Amino acid sequence: MEQLRIPGPTPCPDEVLQAMTKQMINHRGPEFGQIVNDVTDELKQLFQTKNDLFLLTGSGTGGLEAAIVNTLSPGDKVLSVAIGVFGERFAAIAQQFGAEVIPLNFEWGKAADIDSIRKALESEPKIKAVLVTHNETSTGVTNDLAQISAVVKQFNKLLLVDAISSLSSIDLPVDEWRCDVVVTGSQKGWMVPPGLAMVSVSEDAWRAHAEAKMPRFYWDFTGAKNYLEKGQTPWTPGMSTIFALATSLKMILEEGLASIFARHARVAKAARGSVKSLGLPLFADEKHASNTVTSVGASNGLDIKKMLRIMREEHQIVLGGGQRSLDGKIFRIGHMGWVNEGDIELVISNLKVVLPQAGFRS
Ligand SMILES: Cc1ncc(COP(=O)(O)O)c(C=O)c1O
């Protein structure tokens, strides 16, 4: 079987896949209502929040769009703290809906600098919200969200967080860090196929929502809240994916958040150590290297595209390439969700064989 080691979608345990074969039931009936309520409560535990939380049928990007259109109005100034492809996408959505985006872009491979965020907030008092990516999947960097939040809240701004590739794998206590809207996606650390975005909404986000004028229909949080009171979603949800999530949540809660974070930290450390021992450079600043994805640079003649092809075709191991300007310059090893040290050892032992075939001279 192919080993999928891209940073999402991630492999799913058999029990989770099996749950998706459940026959359809009435999505407005009591059985499904119980599932929606249970899943929502369990997700709140894992988001470490008492805020409202909604299951949205769509991909992570839909969740990011929901965060923006539900809290902002055209013309609002937003500070976009971007450290890679997904940070820039978050800003592009805000711009598309008429926000005045103030970009604060950092070198790819580095984390956001807290003092620069403070200066940007000082120099533009009319900023309403700050957009930030907790874990930038395109570069393998995790921002220091606790520190970012401390600055953002010092200035009393809304904090909208893309936690698509971190939540459930890397600690993100939503309430403690006062995050207003937090978005994650089922296909990442949740061990579930793609199709669901999960978002939490704080009281401050609700206050912003009451005044927000950006156009919205499918993603409207008021509709989501009204329907959740009846154990429903406004529109027909991706029921099979919710069945899968109900199963994966049991597994996640059984392992426990602390153990899951520790496992991801261990696996990521092993990945970084092994990559370096192969003689390859880490792309991400090691102080902020992600525990869910390791990005690796090219060196010593390595043809990354050739290596990825040989790994895929001859070893059935699928790794991620670089995105946009990093295409052909880095590769990425995904290690979120259903993963342990053995999976990384397998990648590394195969890389040892393939690297010289792809031009690498150690
Ligand atoms: C950090 C981050 N943000 C946004 C996205 C986009 O999510 P989706 O592809 O589910 O729309 C991804 C997916 O890779 C991601 O990793």
Per residue in 192-251, pLDDT (tens digit) is 999 999 999 999 999 999 999 999 999 999 999 999 999 999 999 999 999 999 999 999
Q: How many CA atoms lie within 13 A of 96 on its CB side?
A: 13
At residue 1, does pLDDT exceed 90? no
Matching residue, tokens 């991909």: 59
Q: Which of the listed residues 61, 138, 168, 293 should we mutate to test ligand 1's pocket, taking the one with most ligand atoms within 8 A of CB?
A: 61
pLDDT at residue number 291: 98
Q: Are 276 and 284 contacting, i.e. CB atoms less than 8 angstroms apart?
A: no
Structure tokens at 12: 């799913």
Q: Which of the listed residues 10, 64, 86 should we mutate to test ligand 1's pocket, taking the one with most ligand atoms within 8 A of CB?
A: 86
Q: Indicate the helix (H) or strand (E) that contains 175.
A: none
Structure tokens at 102: 């103030």
Q: Indicate the helix (H) or strand (E) that contains 130.
A: strand 127-133
* Atom number, ligand 1, closest to the C-alpha of residue 138: 16
* Atom number, ligand 1, closest to the C-alpha of residue 59: 10
To the nearest 10°, report the CA torsion of 18, 19, 24, 25.
150
Distance, in Å, from the CA atom of 69 to the CA atom of 71, rounded to the nearest integer, reads: 6
pLDDT at residue number 362: 81
Share of residues in the chain with pLDDT > 90 (%): 99
Of 291, 306, 295, nearest to 84 by C-alpha is 295
Scored b (16 or more CB within 10 A) or e, 58-91 reads bbbbbbbbbbbbbbbeeebbbbbbbbbbbbbbbb
* Atom number, ligand 1, closest to the C-alpha of residue 197: 10
Q: Which of the listed residues 10, 135, 137, 188 should we mutate to test ligand 1's pocket, taking the one with most ligand atoms within 8 A of CB?
A: 137
DSSP state of 234: S
Ligand 1 first shell, C-beta below 6 A = 8, 59-61, 86, 133, 137, 162, 164-165, 185
pLDDT band at 103 (very low <50, low <70, confident <90, very high): very high
CA of 63 to the centre of ligand 1 (A): 10
Question: What is the crossing angle of helices 60-69 and 85-96, to 10°?
Answer: 40
pTM for this entry: 0.98
Contacting residues for 167 by C-beta, under 8 A, at least 6 apart: 46, 47, 134, 182, 184, 188, 189, 198
pLDDT band at 275 (very low <50, low <70, confident <90, very high): very high
Q: Are 252 and 246 contacting, i.e. CB atoms less than 8 angstroms apart?
A: no
